[in-house]
Amino acid sequence: MAYIELGEIEKAKNLIDNLHRYALEVENKELIASADAQRAMLFRAQNKWEESIEHFEKSLQQFEAIGARRWNVYWFAKMVLCEYARVYLERDQEGTEKKLTTSLTKHWKYSRKLVSRKKSKE
């Protein structure tokens, strides 16, 4: 993700490709979903909006299938929903505000849930 933010697209692409190959090899569904989310972030950085949205949707479905909302709330909210919202923010087309609001509202709800869990453990 650091390479994506720094604009080092080829380095990011190579790492994501390696992660995806490894995830498929060991059949780790969480890693596969993470690789798809990171690929979506890469496409976002390249302004490839449709590809980014497609991979975010795929990643969201994969995370939902493994129940990430329940056991990996932070990653799911911060690194998937918030990054997904960036696609709509940066693309800035008609209807963006509604999509962005929906995504950020989900992020806020999951973040609150995470904070509540931490407080209850203290």
Residue 89: name the closest of 39, 36, 52 by CA. Answer: 52
Residue 3: how many other CB atoms lie within 10 Å: 18
Structural contact between residues 61 and 102, judged by C-beta atoms closer than 8 angstroms: no
- What integer pLDDT is reported at residue 99 of this predicted model? 66
Q: What is the DSSP letter of 82?
A: I
| The pLDDT of residue 58 | 93
Do 62 and 29 meet the contact criterion of CB atoms below 8 Å apart? yes
Q: What is the pTM of this model?
A: 0.76
Residue 69 has pLDDT above 80, yes or no: no
pLDDT at 122 over 80: no
Mean of all residue pLDDT scores within the chain: 83
Range in 18-22, 31-35, 60-64, 99-103 the model is least confident about: 99-103
